[in-house]
């Protein structure tokens, strides 16, 4: 009997060893870095607020991985140790085990409450708008593109929906041709989101942030870009037939380049503000009562 138990234990250990080795080989031969494996290749933050979001994400994964490994380990152990072919009889049934029941009730509750506490605090920091931001921009999401009001400078720019077909009929996604929001680096900006038609969502991937754009409501947030660059954005709310074409860019530049861009808009006659409350029959915003 003891020999049989010893043989069973050896087989169990061997199977668990093979499973662990297989998982290690899978992780090391995919060509993925530790960051890609454990953080799913999350972008590096390029704003002050993005640092907070990044740290919250990393903290969540630091908590989630040990819990996941524990749960997966217990599942694998039960599958191997209590396989039906090995133990034809029904195993001993345990009821009213208060220590175990308390553990699997209280432990998850502590984890959830801890994550909630940190998420609530970080959310308050990220969404804080002090009112003393150095720049103010009104982002207008409309079917099926974006417009940008530079409030302090009283100029605007607007883009067309992205065309996904080339002249030869091939489908493409020309992100570079999307409407572009310009912001000066290392300067705080208050972004006010409005929509004249349906709900959209303003999402800049590298900012690690998105917020809904709701008709009849002004949502706003503050952001301070810390690195110059050209960043992709898109609508993250299913808003209709051309939702996929609602792409935009954010160009973070020096103050001198930003000022020059404002002068270029003035030279093109793009003076005034996009009207976020009225929509013409084509579903496009008006500027000072004029149809674009």
Domain boundaries, the chain: 32-126, 135-291
Which tens digits make up the pLDDT trace of 1-49? 455 555 555 665 666 666 566 555 555 555 555 555 555 567 788 888 8
d(CA 127, CA 136): 15
> DSSP 3-state assignment of 37?
helix
Ordered alpha helix ranges (H), the chain: 2-28, 34-39, 48-81, 98-126, 255-267
pLDDT, position 212: 93
Query: Following DSSP, what letter does each residue of 66-83 receive, concatenated?
Result: HHHHHHHHHHHHHHHHT-
What is the H or E stretch that residue 201 is in? strand 200-204
Percentage with pLDDT > 90 across the chain:
32
Dihedral sign of CA atoms 256, 261, 265, 271 in order: negative
pLDDT score recorded for residue 81: 77
Judged against a pLDDT cut of 70, whether residue 270 lies above it is answered with yes
Question: For residue 201, how many other CB atoms are within 10 A of its CB?
Answer: 21
Angstrom distances, CA of residue 6 to CA of 19, 20, 77, 89: 20, 21, 17, 20
Q: What is the pLDDT of residues 242-267, one digit of tens each?
A: 898 899 999 999 999 999 999 999 99
Count of residues for the chain?
292
Tokens 């209709």 sit on residue: 240
Mean pLDDT of the chain: 79
- pLDDT at residue 175, as a whole number: 66
Report d(CA 158, CA 236) in Å as an integer: 19
| Fold for the domain defined by 32-126 | Helix Hairpins (1.10.287)
Residue 43 has a pLDDT of: 76
Does the predicted model carry a pTM greater than 0.75? no
Distance separating alpha carbons of residues 251 and 234, to the nearest angstrom: 14
Q: Which helix (H) or strand (E) holds 88?
A: none
Residue, of 96 and 198, whose pLDDT is higher: 198
CB 163 within 8 A of CB 176: no
What class is the 135-291 domain? mainly beta
């Amino acid at each position: 009997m003891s020999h049989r138990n010893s043989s069973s234990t050896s087989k169990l250990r061997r199977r668990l060893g093979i499973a662990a080795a297989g998982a290690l080989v899978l992780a090391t031969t995919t060509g993925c870095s530790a960051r890609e494996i454990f953080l799913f290749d999350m972008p590096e933050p390029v704003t002050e607020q993005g640092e907070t979001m990044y740290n919250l994400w990393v903290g969540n994964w630091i908590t989630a991985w040990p819990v996941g490994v524990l749960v997966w380990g217990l599942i694998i152990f039960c599958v191997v140790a209590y396989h039906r072919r090995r133990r034809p009889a029904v195993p001993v049934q345990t009821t009213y085990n208060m220590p175990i029941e308390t553990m699997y009730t209280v432990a998850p509750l502590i984890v959830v409450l801890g994550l909630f506490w940190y998420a609530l605090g970080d959310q308050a920091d990220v969404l804080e708008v002090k009112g003393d931001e150095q720049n103010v921009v009104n982002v207008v999401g409309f079917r099926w593109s974006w417009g940008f009001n530079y409030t302090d400078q009283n100029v605007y720019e607007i883009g067309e929906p992205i065309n996904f077909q080339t002249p030869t009929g091939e489908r493409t996604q020309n992100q570079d041709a999307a409407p572009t929001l310009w912001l000066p680096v290392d300067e705080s900006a208050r972004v006010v989101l409005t929509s004249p038609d349906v709900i959209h969502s303003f999402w800049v991937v590298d900012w690690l942030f998105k917020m809904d754009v709701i008709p009849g409501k002004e949502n706003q947030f503050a952001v301070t870009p810390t690195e110059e660059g050209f960043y992709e954005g898109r609508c993250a709310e299913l808003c209709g037939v051309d939702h996929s074409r609602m792409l935009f860019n954010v160009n973070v530049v020096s103050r001198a380049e930003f000022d020059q861009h404002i002068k270029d808009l003035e030279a093109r006659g793009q003076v005034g503000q996009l009207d976020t409350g009225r929509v013409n029959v084509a579903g496009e915003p008006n500027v000072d009562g004029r149809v674009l």
